[in-house]
Each structure stands twice: as structure tokens, then as C-alpha cells.
Amino acid sequence: MAENTARQLETELPDLEAYWMPFTGNRYFKQNPRMISRAQGMYCYTTDGKRLLDAVAGLWCCNAGHCHPRIVEAIKQQAETLDYSMAFQLGHPRVFELANRLVDMAPEGIDYAFFVNSGSEAVDTALKMALAYHRIRGDAARTRLIGREKGYHGVGFGGISVGGLSPNRKMFGAMLPGVDHLPHTHNISENAYSRGLPEWGAHLADELENIVALHDPSTIAAVIVEPIAGSAGVLLPPQGYLQRLRNICNKHGILLIFDEVICGFGRTGDNFGANRFGVTPDLMTIAKGLTSGTVPMGAVLAKKDIYDTFMTGPDTAIEFFHGYTYSGHPLAAAAGCATLDVYLGEGLIDRARGLEGKFEDALHSLKGEPNVIDVRNFGLIGAVELEPIEGQPTARAMQIFRDCYDAGVIIRTTGDTLAFSPPLIIEEAQIEQVVESVRTALQSN
Ligand SMILES: Cc1ncc(COP(=O)(O)O)c(C=O)c1O
């Protein structure tokens, strides 16, 4: 197999066969490769010399923009100083610093951070924490986990079990036992073209009462939802919905987990969705924007009561039999600290909040374009839903994706929904460019 230098790889394609790509049509890609070889700020550059405006922040993760010099420098310095240190029984200073800074950003009462390497690992970790928490408290019958239809919680067995996307589940057997699902909150006939949180649908949270009545509260460990569901096509919580879920969980002693993997770090115009919506969960999963996508890292943030519950037994005992070789990896921790420096030092979270009105107006200007059946948005998350081509679901959105790509803009599709989650550094003119590319694509299809 030919070896390629880094320089060559900026402009030349390597042999494409051996790499089995994730969540990708491998055969189609290998015949029609779109290869990004470098990136800077709002832009990605391809091996064939194209410049692309990134309206998705990588995959909802590069919130500070690509290759931010401060983050790059921190990673370089860390790599030279401490490449790795044993994650169990030994520590290194950066990861403690990062934990302190994250819990400072989280809503009051969230005081601990457990590090992992991805959103999927964060979800499986949070589910295990919930189960173990009840067991330690002598409530061992609380083993059921409640997710939600159309939920996306990554691809671990825990995540697909509580998740609610059938293509992600159907091939993989029986999954975790004892899981039930809330109804999703997406309803275009009631909420089409909502600006911000939709008015209709808070009552859908009350379905949790029915699930509780069916199984009995004494069997339920936790409920997990995304404050705003991203990967299933930007599904917004109706006004009051999250608060109602919180109240029902409180009433029945059920832990509430917010999967904030997409909603964190400015995406909703605040530190986390929990801050913005004024609802504090018991556990929060985070990843993606934590390092602005530079080094894989995730975490579970936990309330003090949960941490304290684990801190029993002899001082030398391991309290939670869980962790990963790369939990709190030095490079990720350094990237995380530098990323927080950028978000806070450069005011990017406030910037996102300041841009949301412009972003909303720009997206909603697509109402009335061919085949658009809904536009929805919150913070710097937006979606344009399209009428599917009969018998060819996803085909229409994929065509718009391709046309936008050819016009120099990266957008994301999920089903027949176009999704937008730009880096928080996006300029107003770039928002216009994204929307006008989509408009042109819609009008020519
Ligand atoms: C809400 C949510 N949870 C979990 C995940 C999984 O994260 P990862 O792909 O890092 O495992 C994602 C990824 O998009 C997500 O959106």
C-alpha cells in the first residue's frame, strides 16, 4: 500500500478501499469522494481545492470554529509535556481544572464531572450511574430506563436502547431490557414554522405519568431526553415540557438525565440547554463542543447528591466500577480548558445569543420556497423540513445537500430535514450565504 506524506494528502486522494466509514454509504462515497484535508475558522478545504463554508460546525461540535490557534497551541504544548498518564489511580492537573470549570458553567447543584471519550460513552455512563445510584441507596428494583421516540443518544447498547430511531436499533437484537419510551414532541400540524420553542405540546410530558402508572414508580431509574433533539432533525421541546418532565420525575423519585451532547457550549445561546431552559437535571451528558471537536472527549456532569451517594465504604475502595483508558486524556483536557478559554474569553456564548434573531429571520425567509413544509429554530440550531419525494424518502434533502456542497456550503441532512448548527463565530453575511445557497438549491429542484 502506498504511503502518502501529509503534504500530498492535502491535494491527492489515497487508496479509499480499506476504510469502513461510519454512518456513510461507503460504496457511494468511494465513487464520489468528498475529502476535507484542512480547515480554518468557518471554512473547510477539499483535496480538489474547494473552499466550503461549514454551516454544521463539523458535526455540531466545532463551536469555536476550526483550528482555533489558542486551542491548537494548547494541544501542541500538552503533547510535548504529558502525552498520557494512567487514568485510574493516578491523575494529572489539567483534568481537575477542567472538571472545576465545567461544573462552574453548569446550573447550580451540578458539582461533579466524570470524563469519557464521546457522547455515546457519556450516555452509557450516565445510565450506569443512574442504575448504581438507586442500588446503592437500597432501591435496587429501580432498573427501568425511559427514553423517547426519535431520541438519539449515540450508538452504544445503552444509547440505542433508550434512543428512538428505528434504523439505529433494528439490526442489533434485543438491546437492554426494561426500557420504555415517551412519545416524541414533533408535530408539524400544530407547530409548523414556530420561532423558538413551540407553544403546543407541553402535555406530552404527562405521558410519563402513564408510563409510571404502568410499571410503578418503584421500578423506574431514570428518564433521558435531549433538551433539543438534534440528530433526529431538530425537534424542539414545547414550552413548559421540560419543566413538566422535571416535576413528574421529582414526584416519583426518578432521575432526570439531559443529553446535552448537542445543546452544550453556546449552541442554545447559553452554557447548556439546562441553563437556557431553567430546568436542572440530575445528570447531564456532554461532548462535542467540550473540545470544539478537536480531541474526542465527553463527560457526565452529576448532582452532588449522586456523587455523595457513591462515596461510601472504606476510603480506599473504588466507588464506581467504570471508566475508560482515555477518560480525562491529557490532550483532551488541555483542549477542553483552552476551548472554555475561547468560549468565555471571546464571548462566543453571548455572541451566539446575539445572533439568534438574525439566524431565525434568515431561516424563516425560506418559508414558501418549493417543498418546504416547516422551518424551526432555537439558539444557533435550525431546521428546514422538506416534503419527501414519494417513495424516495431522504432523496430530496440529499439533493439539496449536494447542490449546497457544489455551491460551497456544507449543511447536514437527517431524513428529509436540512439541519444547521454553525460555529458560534459565524458572521451575518455568512448566515445569508448559507440560506441563499439553500434557496437556490430548493428553487432548482
Ligand atoms: C444527543 C446526542 N447524544 C449522543 C450522541 C453521540 O455522540 P458521539 O457520536 O460522540 O458518540 C450524539 C451525537 O450526535 C447526540 O447528538
Q: What is the pLDDT of residues 353-394, one digit of tens each?
A: 999 999 999 999 999 999 999 999 999 999 999 999 999 999
Q: Does residue 84 surpass a pLDDT of 70?
A: yes
Chain CA centroid to CA 182, Å? 20
428-443 vs 348-364: helix axis angle to the nearest 10? Answer: 30
Distance 120 CA to ligand 1 centre (A): 6
Mean pLDDT of the chain: 97
Q: Does residue 2 surpass a pLDDT of 60?
A: no
Nearest CA to ligand 1 atom 8: 119
**Do 52 and 102 have their domain in common?**
no
- Provide mean pLDDT across the span 313-317: 92
Nearest CA to ligand 1 atom 12: 154
pLDDT band per the 50, 70, 90 thresholds, residue 10: confident
Atom of ligand 1 nearest to the CA of 60: 14
Note whether 413 and 400 are within 8 A (CB). Answer: yes
Atom of ligand 1 nearest to the CA of 285: 3
Pick the more confident residue, 6 or 123.
123
**Do 378 and 283 have their domain in common?**
no
**Do 99 and 8 have their domain in common?**
no
**Do 38 and 162 have their domain in common?**
no
Distance 261 CA to ligand 1 centre (A): 6
Ligand 1 pocket test, pick from 152, 234, 265, 297 with the greatest ligand atom count within 8 Å of Cβ, gives 152
Nearest CA to ligand 1 atom 7: 119
pLDDT in the model for residue 417: 98
Report how many domains make up the chain.
2
pLDDT in the model for residue 1: 45
Ligand 1 pocket test, pick from 153, 272, 286 with the greatest ligand atom count within 8 Å of Cβ, gives 153
Distance 230 CA to ligand 1 centre (A): 9
- Provide mean pLDDT across the span 403-407: 98
Domain boundary among 322, 345, 368: 345
pLDDT band per the 50, 70, 90 thresholds, residue 12: confident
pLDDT in the model for residue 3: 66
Which percentage of the chain shows pLDDT scores above 90?
96
Distance 285 CA to ligand 1 centre (A): 9
Which percentage of the chain shows pLDDT scores above 70?
99
Domain at 422, CATH number: 3.90.1150.10
**Do 46 and 154 have their domain in common?**
no
**Do 57 and 140 have their domain in common?**
no
**Do 138 and 257 have their domain in common?**
yes
Atom of ligand 1 nearest to the CA of 123: 4
**Do 98 and 241 have their domain in common?**
yes
Nearest CA to ligand 1 atom 13: 154
**H or E segment to which residue 110 belongs:** strand 110-116
Distance 59 CA to ligand 1 centre (A): 9
Spatial distance between the Cα atoms of 157 and 170, rounded to a whole number of angstroms: 12
Task: Report the pocket of ligand 1 as residue ranges, CB < 6 Å.
Answer: 118-120, 123, 152-154, 226, 230-231, 259, 261-262, 287
**Do 14 and 91 have their domain in common?**
no
- Provide mean pLDDT across the span 164-177: 96
Atom of ligand 1 nearest to the CA of 121: 11
pLDDT in the model for residue 9: 73
Domain at 129, CATH number: 3.40.640.10
Residue 285 Cα distances to 99, 123, 150, 225, 271, angstroms: 13, 6, 18, 10, 13
**Do 166 and 269 have their domain in common?**
yes
Domain boundary among 345, 363, 384: 345
Query: What does pTM read for this prediction?
Result: 0.97
Distance 119 CA to ligand 1 centre (A): 4
Distance 36 CA to ligand 1 centre (A): 21
Distance 432 CA to ligand 1 centre (A): 28
Parent domain of 107: 72-345
Domain boundary among 323, 345, 367: 345
pLDDT 10s digits, 26-83 = 999 999 999 999 999 999 999 999 999 999 999 999 999 999 999 999 999 999 999 9
Q: Does residue 307 surpass a pLDDT of 60?
A: yes
Distance 388 CA to ligand 1 centre (A): 25
pLDDT 10s digits, 111-146 = 999 999 999 999 999 999 999 999 999 999 999 999
Distance 154 CA to ligand 1 centre (A): 4
pLDDT in the model for residue 215: 98
5 Cβ contact partners less than 8 Å away, ≥ 6 residues apart: none
pLDDT in the model for residue 5: 73
**Do 311 and 367 have their domain in common?**
no
- Provide mean pLDDT across the span 411-426: 97
pLDDT 10s digits, 261-287 = 999 999 999 999 999 999 999 999 999
Ligand 1 pocket test, pick from 165, 225, 265, 288 with the greatest ligand atom count within 8 Å of Cβ, gives 288
- Nearest residue to 226 via CA among 290, 158, 321, 154: 154
138 CB burial (10 A radius; 0-12, 13-18, 19+): exposed
256 Cβ contact partners less than 8 Å away, ≥ 6 residues apart: 222, 223, 245, 246, 249, 281, 282, 283
**Do 234 and 253 have their domain in common?**
yes
pLDDT in the model for residue 11: 76
pLDDT 10s digits, 197-254 = 999 999 999 999 999 999 999 999 999 999 999 989 999 999 999 999 999 999 999 9
Atom of ligand 1 nearest to the CA of 156: 11
pLDDT in the model for residue 57: 98
Q: Does residue 406 surpass a pLDDT of 90?
A: yes
Ligand 1 pocket test, pick from 21, 261, 272, 412 with the greatest ligand atom count within 8 Å of Cβ, gives 261
Distance 3 CA to ligand 1 centre (A): 33
Ligand 1 pocket test, pick from 23, 155, 231 with the greatest ligand atom count within 8 Å of Cβ, gives 231
Q: Does residue 290 surpass a pLDDT of 50?
A: yes
